[in-house]
Amino acid sequence: MRAGWGVGVVLALALSACRSRDAGSADAGFPPPPEALTCEGLVSLEVRDALPGFSFKEERPCASCGPLCVFRSAEQKDVSLSIAYDCRKRFEGEDLQALLIPTLKAGGMEVPAMGKAAARREPVPGMLQVSAWDDDTPCGIVVTWLGPDRDRALDIARMTLFATTPERLTQAATSPNKTSPHAPGDAGTPLDAGTP
């Protein structure tokens, strides 16, 4: 599978995940608006440490989505990872299990003991996508791994959920670096160069 084609698939999947939920109104500034959140502020040091030799850049698949953080391995050209953040106020009493239905109908499987609800699926051969909703923030994440060792998507999803806290969202929104430092054609930044 060509790397460029795989990245296009990742972006399309993240975009569809972003649009699959209705946008709610923010309550007292929490969660912060999507444009205020960046990969620099959201991706934890633990996740970065789990991806040695990867560089990353930030993309915005849609206006109402949070950042899409795209990681590429310098050594394994056929390996890429993305983390799409979607943080928004939900309607009271929303059934998160119902959000899993499209994934389950597409051949996915529920992932137990991960956030409020989580499911995994293989949209194309060699790719694993994990969609999960956080316990203590109004955030959903979609982690997509393309290439060998695709089950690592589950570990990255767990680490990302654990690190997604109200404090991190607030800090990410008040950070002085509110825009991606990378132009669309930029090769990205080594992970050890970012802030935790």
In the chain, where the domains are located: 3-18+36-174
Supply the pLDDT for residue 158.
97
Distance CA 116, CA 190 (A): 32
Distance CA 183, CA 180 (A): 8
Supply the pLDDT for residue 9.
43
Find the range with the poorest average confidence among 122-131, 149-158, 170-179: 170-179
Reported pTM: 0.77
Per DSSP, 54 falls in state: E
Which run of H or E residues covers position 69? strand 68-73
And the tokens for 29? 């500034």
Supply the pLDDT for residue 51.
95
Instruction: Name, in order, each residue with C-beta under 8 angstroms of 177's C-beta and a sequence gap of 6 or more.
Output: 38, 40, 41, 195
Cβ proximity of 140 and 133 under 8 Å: yes
pLDDT: is 45 or 23 the higher one?
A: 45
And the tokens for 3? 């790397």
* Residue positions counted in the chain: 196
Q: Is the per-residue pLDDT at 196 higher than 60? A: no
Rounded to whole angstroms, what are the CA distances from 42 to 30, 66, 155, 170, 195? 15, 10, 17, 10, 10
pLDDT, mean over the chain:
78
Q: Is the per-residue pLDDT at 159 higher than 80? A: yes
The verdict on domain 3-18+36-174 having CATH code 3.10.20 is no
Share of the chain above pLDDT 90, in %: 49
Tens-place pLDDT, residues 67-121: 999 999 999 999 999 999 988 876 445 677 787 888 899 899 999 999 989 999 9
